Amino acid sequence: MIETVIKKPVIRAEGLSKSFNKQKVLRDLSVDFNEGDRIALVGQNGAGKTTLIRCILGQYVYDGKLEVLDRNPRKERVIILKDVGFVPQIPPPLKITVQEMLAFFSNLCNVPVDDFVTIAERLGLKVKESFSKPFVALSGGMKQKLLVSFALGKQPKILLMDEPSANLDPAAREMFFSYLAEYNKEALLVLSSHRMDEIKGLVNRVVEMDFGNIILDENIKR
């Protein structure tokens, strides 16, 4: 007997559209991202990956229907974002020190500072040596490690990562992927990347976008 596992949708888009100055960037997109999905979100520049992620984060006004954790990401943004970890492609140029940044995240996300520090150190960042350095003065890889540790330290139900390993050195990349491989199997992971070969061992589903819509959606065996 074949047992079918029905996964609960964590993100559900139906007829999702987004335009900028009459130019459609997302075109009537419909898709479900389910719990336990580890998705490689791939596509060329301008395909709509970042726009989709920003709609999920509640940063854009859109047409159509979008639900994240059964809520509206515009109207219930703050509640949703408590369960979302995000790693951006380009780190923000914050002038505050690493220590201040840790305190900021700890306070805002109700997570002990040590939880972030442990993850960052596993990724190879000597956090305590960098305490007094402004975040903006860290190297690209150090910034990325810290941002990844903030995203993972929250233990979110949804992890959205936009080219998360772009600035990591090979050792940190390996550590990062092994961390992700172990990460909560119930959680939804969306990895936006240009380098499919790099993340294919980590994902169980590939979603390819082009011209604002999904042109390929397939499950893959690991």
Q: Shortest distance, CB of residue 132 to other proteins, whole angstroms?
A: 12
Q: Shortest distance, CB of residue 114 to other proteins, whole angstroms?
A: 19
CB contact set of 4 (below 8 Å; sequence gap of 6+): none
- DSSP for 5-69, please give it: PPPPEEEEEEEEEEEETTEEEEEEEEEEEETT-EEEEEE-TTSSHHHHHHHHTT-S--EEEEEET
Nearer to other proteins, 39 or 146 (CB): 146
Would you count residue 24 as binding other proteins (CB under 8 A)?
A: no
d(C-alpha 10, C-alpha 70), whole Å:
7
x/- contact string, 154-183, with other proteins (CB under 8 A)? ------x-----------------------
Size of the residue set binding other proteins (CB under 8 A)? 30
Would you count residue 132 as binding other proteins (CB under 8 A)?
A: no
Would you count residue 81 as binding other proteins (CB under 8 A)?
A: yes
**Interacting residue with other proteins among 82, 113, 138, 184 (CB under 8 A):** 82
Would you count residue 111 as binding other proteins (CB under 8 A)?
A: no
**Using an 8 Å Cβ cutoff, are 101 and 146 in contact?**
yes
x/- contact string, 59-78, with other proteins (CB under 8 A)? xxx---------------xx
Nearer to other proteins, 6 or 61 (CB): 61
Nearer to other proteins, 25 or 203 (CB): 25
Q: Shortest distance, CB of residue 47 to other proteins, whole angstroms?
A: 18
Span from 5-13, 96-104, 165-173, 182-190 in contact with other proteins (CB under 8 A): 96-104
Closest of 68, 160, 173 to residue 123, by C-alpha: 173
Name the H helices within the chain.
49-56, 77-81, 98-109, 113-122, 127-130, 140-153, 170-182, 196-199
Q: Shortest distance, CB of residue 172 to other proteins, whole angstroms?
A: 20
Cα–Cα separations (whole angstroms), residue 209 to 26, 28, 45, 166, 175: 10, 12, 10, 20, 28
d(C-alpha 126, C-alpha 2), whole Å:
49
CA-angle at 177, arms to 174 and 181, nearest 5°: 135
Which residues of this protein are in contact with other proteins, per CB under 8 A?
A: 54, 57-61, 77-79, 81-82, 84, 86, 88, 90-96, 100, 104-105, 107-109, 134, 147, 160
